[in-house]
Amino acid sequence: MSRPRTQAERLAATRATLMREARLIFAASGYDAAATEEIVQRSNVTRGALYYHFKDKRAVFEAIVEEVAREIAAAIDRKADPVGDPLQALIEGTRAFLDACLDPAVRRIYLIDAPAVLGWHRWREIDAPHGLRSLREGVTAVLAERPGQGLSVEPVTFLLSGAFNEAALWVAEAKDEKTARREMDRSLVQLMERLFGSPAEPARPPRARARA
């Protein structure tokens, strides 16, 4: 296994190594400061190999962003049970997202650098079938239970997405991460419970709030 004999194995192994090492360096140094030379040295190949596998440096980064997006979405879907209460699923999914963002690599690559390097549009395009899809489905399910609230799916989805992304960064940057995480969790739950309110009928829990 140390020296893959077949071409296909060799190809896959090299690509996987490049992706792994590049991800570490992108996470540690940021996209701009990450030199392709360092990536290939740690991968025990030359820059020729990198440019054989990827069109340019940006393409390497984009592939990694897609990978990270898939991982995040998988973590969310693992926690956000679609059969139970939709609002609860949304809350659990959000928690899974915040936990995924405890990894500095995720924050640096996915939240900070990706929009700048790939552009906001492309970034959202990549996320569309993953985290964003999961969130949109959650919002859709919650709103389906609560018709006539005057909330539309798309704006709410992006509002929440932006809020969650910033929440992750705020927690990570806080002096006391543990405490910040707990504080943010409370506020997030409050935000979603109040935004969406209780399902259906006017019958609301104890402290019914008047509508404006």
Partner DNA sequence: GACATTTAGAAACAGGCTGTATGTATGTCA
Partner DNA sequence: TGACATACATACAGCCTGTTTCTAAATGTC
| Footprint of DNA (CB under 7 A) | 5-8, 10-11, 13-15, 34-37, 40, 44-49, 51-53, 56-58
120 binds, among a second copy, DNA, none (CB under 5 to 8 A by kind): a second copy
Q: Give least dist CB 74 to DNA, A.
A: 27
Task: Give which of DNA, a second copy, none residue 2 binds (C-beta under 5 to 8 Å, depending on kind).
Answer: none
Coil vs helix vs strand at 95: helix
Decide: helix, strand or coil at residue 207: coil
C-alpha–C-alpha distance, residues 67 and 35, integer Å? 20
Residue 194 interacting partner from a second copy, DNA, none (CB closer than 5 to 8 Å by kind):
a second copy
In the complex with DNA, which residue's Cβ is closer, 56 or 193?
Answer: 56
Distance of alpha carbon 201 from alpha carbon 212, whole angstroms:
18
Q: Which residues contact a second copy (rule: CB under 8 A)?
A: 30-32, 107, 112-113, 115-117, 119-121, 124, 149-152, 154-156, 158-167, 169-170, 173, 180, 183-184, 186-188, 190-191, 193-195, 197-198, 209-210, 212
Q: How many CB atoms lie within 10 A of CB 33?
A: 10
How are the residues of the chain apportioned to helix, strand and coil, as percentages rounded to the nearest 5?
A: 75, 0, 25
Q: How far is the CB of 170 from a second copy (least distance, A)?
A: 4
Q: Where do the H-state alpha helices sit in the chain?
A: 7-29, 36-42, 47-53, 57-79, 86-100, 104-105, 114-118, 120-127, 131-145, 153-173, 177-196
Give least dist CB 32 to DNA, A: 8
Least distance in Å: CB of 61 to DNA? 10
Q: Return d(Cα 42, Cα 104) in angstroms, integer.
A: 20
Shortest gap between Cβ of 54 and DNA (angstroms)?
8
169 makes contact, choosing from a second copy, DNA, none, with CB < 5 to 8 Å by partner type, with a second copy
Report the nearest approach of a second copy to the CB of residue 121 (Å): 6
**Lookup result for tokens 């896959």:** 12
Judged by beta carbon, residue 75 or residue 188, the one nearer a second copy is 188
Distance between CA 145 and CA 84 in Å, rounded? 12
Unique residue bearing structure tokens 């492309």: 122
